[in-house]
Amino acid sequence: MANHAQQNLLHAYLDDELDLVRSMELEDHLAECGDCAHEVASYRALHETMQAANLRYEAPADFRSRLEGELHKEATPEIQPVVVRRVIPWWSWAAVAACLLLTAAAFLVNLSDRGEKRLMAEVVSDHVRSLMAGHITDVVSTDQHTVKPWFTGRLDFSPQVRDLSADGIELVGGRLEYLDGHNAAAIVYQKRKHVINVFTWPSAGGDEEPSVSAQQGFNLLAWREGGMYYCAVSDLNRQELTEFVGMLRK
Amino acid sequence: MANSTPSAERIARFEAIVVPHLDAAYNLARWMTRNASDGEDVAQEAMLRAFRFFDGFRGDDGRVWLLTIVRNTYLTWVRRQIPQQNSAEFDERLHTDIETAFTPESDLLRKATGEQVRRAIGNLPAEYREVILMREIEQMSYKEIAAITQSPLGTVMSRLSRGRSMLRQLIAGERRAEVKVHG
C-alpha cells in the first residue's frame, strides 16, 4: 500500500478533519488512484448506513424520573458543610442514642410496655437508615406553606412547621419516618451551616418543658406539648439550640 | 467551594450545563455495556458522580466533561464484570486479515439493515466501539474524542480507521452469510 494514501488520512478526510492543503492533496490522489477512491466510497456507504440506522438510544422516561429522585437525594445533603456530611453516620448514632435515652426518660412510666419500646427502637433504626443513605428530606422547601401541606395525607397528624427566617433560621424541608405502620415527621431547619432536625410524633401524656442533653458534642432538646413529642438535634451550641426551641415554641 | 455556592444556584447550573447531555450519556453507557439495565446503572452512576464533582468543573463543554465521566464509570463497571464476558467479545484471530481482505462493495454496505449495523457495532472491541460511537452518533471532533478517551489524537485516528475497517468486514460478513442462506 506504499503508494496509496494512509488509512488514517482517508478517515480524517471523510471526517472533515484534514486541513485544506492536505485535503486537496488527497483529492488529487483520489482522482488518480482507483483503489483509494473505491475505499473512500466504501466508507462513505458505511457512514450513510450508520446514519440511517438510527443508532441513538434515548434515556427512557422511567429512568429519567428515577435519576431525578437520586439526584434530589444527592442535592439535599449539600446544604451542609462537607465535613459534617461525612460525619453524619457517626453523629447520627450519638444523636439517636441520646434521643432514645431522652425518649425513654420522658416515657419511663408509659414505656413499661415492651411493645412500645420495640417501636421506639424501630423509629431509631428508621431514622439512622435515612441519614446513612444521605436522605435528609423528602420535601425541599424554604416555605412553611409548602412543607406543612406536604405532610397532609401522608401523616394522620399535622406537624408544626415554623417560618423563622426573620431570626436567621432557614427552613430546609421535611421528611417522613415510617415505623411499624406509624408515622413521624422530621422537620429540617438550618442555622448558618448547622442542620437542625426536629422529630415529632403524637404522644400521650401532659406537657413537659424542654430538657437539654449533650452527647459527644451534639446537643438535644426534648419536650412534650399539646399531645406531641418533640426532639430537636443539632451540632449548634446549647444556647443557640435552646434559643431555637424557644422561637419554635413561641 | 461547595459551601460558597448556594445549593439552588448549583442545581440550576448543573441543570443548564450537564442535564441536557443526559441522552448522550445514556446512549454511550447503553452502547458500551451492551444492555439496557447495565446502561441505566452506568449512566445513573455517572450522573451522580458528575453532580458530586460539579464544583470541580471549570470548562465550558459539559458534554465532553460528562462523557469522560461516563467512560470512566463504564471502565470501573467493566472491571467488576466476570472476566469471560470481556475476553469473549472479539476474536482477533478471525479478523487479522481485515486490512488485506477485499473491500466490501458500497452496495453491500448500503443494503445492511439497522439490526445488522447495531449487531456489528456491538461486536466491536470496546476501544474501537467508543470512538465510532462518539464520531458517528455524537458527531464529535477528533479533539473532543481525544479529550474524552484521554488519548493522543493519533490514537483516535488509528482507532477510528481500524474500527471502521472491522465494522465494514463485520457488516459485509453478515450480508454475505444472509445471501448464502437465502440464495
Beta carbons of A56 and B139 less than 8 angstroms apart: no
Residue of A nearest to B168 (CA): A46
What is the pLDDT, as a whole number, of residue A73?
A: 78
Sequence spans of domains, chain A: 7-52, 65-249
Contact present, A180 and A122 (Cβ < 8 Å): yes
Grid cell of B64 as nine digits: 465532553
| A131 in Cβ contact with A87 (< 8 Å) | no
Among B10, B47, B56, B9, which Cα is nearest to B29's? Answer: B47
Which of A109 and B81 is assigned the larger pLDDT? B81
CA separation for the pair A187, A64 (Å, rounded): 28
The predicted structure's pLDDT at residue A84: 30
Largest CA distance in chain B: 70
How many residues belong to chain A?
Answer: 250
Architecture of the CATH domain A65-249: 2-Layer Sandwich (3.30)
Residues 95-154 of B with CB under 8 A from A: 99, 103-107, 109-110, 112-114, 117-118, 121, 133, 135-137, 141-142, 154
- The sheet that has A182-191: what strands, in order across it? A139-140, A169-179, A182-191, A194-202, A228-234, A218-225, A208-215
Among A53, A71, A74, beta carbon nearest to B114: A53
**Structure confidence by residue, pLDDT tens digits, A67-116:** 888 887 777 654 433 333 333 445 555 666 666 666 655 554 443 445 44
Collect all residues with Cβ–Cβ distance below 8 Å to A142 and sequence separation of at least 6: A165, A170, A171, A172
List all residues 6 or more positions away from A29 whose beta carbon is below 8 Å from its beta carbon: A5, A36
- Distance (Å) from the C-alpha of residue A44 to the closest C-alpha of chain B? 8
Q: How far apart are CA A230 and CA A227, in angstroms?
A: 10
Chain B residue numbers with beta carbons less than 8 Å from the beta carbon of A45 are 106-107, 109-110
Strands A218-225 and A208-215: antiparallel
Structure confidence at residue B82 as a pLDDT band (50, 70, 90) = low
Q: Which of A38, A49, A82 to mutate to test the interface with B (most CBs of B within 10 A)?
A: A49
CA distance B25 to B31: 10
Write the ipTM.
Answer: 0.85
Walk me through the domains of chain B, giving residue ranges and CATH numbers: 7-84 (1.10.1740.10), 90-182 (1.10.10.10)
Which of B25, B36, B118 comes nearest A55 by C-beta?
A: B118
- Phi and psi torsions of A180, nearest 5°: 45, 45
| Cα of A99 to nearest chain B Cα, Å | 29
How high is the pLDDT of residue A139?
Answer: 74
Phi-psi region of A16 (alpha: psi -120 to 50; beta: other; left: phi over 0): left
Q: Express each pLDDT in A120-135 by its tens digit.
A: 455 445 545 545 445 5
Task: Return the number of other C-beta atoms located less than 10 Å from residue B85's C-beta.
Answer: 10
Chosen for mutation from B15, B124, B140, B165 (greatest number of chain A CBs closer than 10 Å) is: B165
CA distance B42 to B27: 11
Q: What is the pTM of this model?
A: 0.56
Q: A218 or B99: which carries more pLDDT confidence?
A: A218
Give A180 or B142, the one with higher predicted confidence: B142
- Over residues A26-46, the pLDDT tens digits come to 999 999 999 999 999 999 999
* Whether pLDDT at A192 is above 50: yes
Split at pLDDT 50, 70, 90, the class of B75 is very high
User: Which residues in chain A have Cβ-Cβ distances shorter than 8 Å to B137?
Assistant: 55-56
- Closest-CA residue of A relative to B156 is A8
Query: What does each C-alpha distance from B5 to B10, B55, B129 come to in angstroms?
Result: 6, 9, 38
- CA nearest to A195, candidates A95, A102, A71: A95
Q: How far apart are CA A210 and CA A228, in angstroms?
A: 13
